[in-house]
Amino acid sequence: MCDTMVALHEATADGSVIFAKNSDRHPNEAQSIEHHPAAEYPGGSKLQCTYIEIPQAKYTNAVFLCRPFWMWGAEMGVNKHGVVIGNEAIFSKIPSVKEPRLLGMDLLRLGLERGDSARGALEVITELLEEYGQGGNCAHNHKFYYHNSFLIVDKREAWVLETIDRLWVAKKVNTSQSMSNVLSIGAEWDLASEDFISNTRSQIRSANSDQIHVERCFSDKLITRAACSRERQSRSSELLRKSNGGITAATMMNILHDHNDDGEGRFLNGLFNKTLCAHAGWGPARKATQTTGSLIVKLTEHDIEIWVTGTSAPCISLFKPVWFDDGLPDTGTTPGATFDPGSLWWKHELLHRLTIWNYPLYTSLYCDELREMQDRFICKAGSLAPAERKDLTAQCFNEAAQKEDEWTDRVKKEECSFRLSLLSRRVWEKFNKKANITI
């Protein structure tokens, strides 16, 4: 499950546009951060997506992606034109397609590689959706099928795009928008697939002949409720409203960190996950719900400022600044399904999986230092000349890696005492065994 949001010009402190997303997947689905340059392809070229092959475009944009290691597509990303996209799993009365087609994550990456504006990316996604459809298993080590919604943003506008199989409907964002794993478009929208209304009336008996309400017609109430989607969307919307007119990248970081004001670690033990910063645990709705990556993108008229963790658990991660022209520093080996100490993602995961045994105690050993470092990174990024950015990116990644090693050692030396429930400990022991990680 995921949470995605945007604040447009009127909602931010400096008139920029700021996008943010927590990507939630299975705890062992490591996520890599990648920069792919623009490319040109000869006519007739083919592109292998996660499951199916489609014609390749003649040109593709440079993109920065946060990608689960096993798929071609991405959970979130931004291209050189300043188009940013995040997707959300949504659950409908119309069953998801199990036949291998394009994943929602494939469509997201295709929108970034081929779109030069938010509206352009929306058109890329919807045209490919109508031609090839969406479908196939969306998880690496278990079965998980869903439809997709998208938040598509550029420096001038943002769109919510919601899809059910090959049907789609889109609405333009006004000031700010938060999205979770629930349909958010009601009876009003700006764009829709040509057969959306006729198909809705034929497939959904509750569709009134005079008015169609997308969420009421399509939403699978049971799965949506089990995922606590409305609670999370309500929480993110509330936090955006509280900072309306003064939202910054730091504001978005705090929202992505959010545990709903629970500083005692109780959020780790509940049967359901109601927090924006998600941690897996015991329960059918929690076993595959871990924030495995976080991204914030700030768009101005002439700049694209990217903040990325490259790690799970944003509450104990550092957002590092990246700019397109300077690319990424060396982040170690590309992560896979099992523990790799040479990987940025897995190295941090060791700190996370130690910390959750007694979250209040272990975070007290290093989180003040982490927050001070984060403030320093933000301050430095805001006062840099463009020529200095590459050095700052490398410095932030290196300093974060060094400090996380120190914090891991610090936690290991502390006498272990459990606050995590026995049931949750058992679940995490299984995750760790499967990932070959020793805690």
Active site residues: 2
* Cβ atoms 309, 318 nearer than 8 A: yes
HEC string for the chain: CCEEEEECHHHECCCCEEEEEEEEECCCCCEEEEEECCEECCCCCEEECCCCEEECCCEECCEEEEEECCCCCCCEEEECCCCEEEEEEECECCCCCCCCCECHHHHHHHHHHHCCCHHHHHHHHHHHHHHHCECCCCCCCCCCCCEEEEEEECCCCEEEEEEECCEEEEEECCCEEEECCCCCCCCCCCEECCCHHHHHHHHCCCCCCCCCCHHHHHECHHHHHHCCHHHHHHHHHHHHHHCCCCECHHHHHHHHHCCCCCCCCHHHCCCCCCCCCCCCCCCCCCCCCEEEEEEEEEECCCCEEEEECCCCCHHHCCCEEECHHHCCCCCECCCCCCCCCCEHHHHHHHHHHHHHHHHHHHHCCCHHHHHHHHHHHHHHHHCCCHHHHHHHHHHHHHHHHHHHHHHHHHHHHCCCCCCCCHHHHHHHHHHHHHHCCCC
Distance CA 352, CA 32 (A): 17
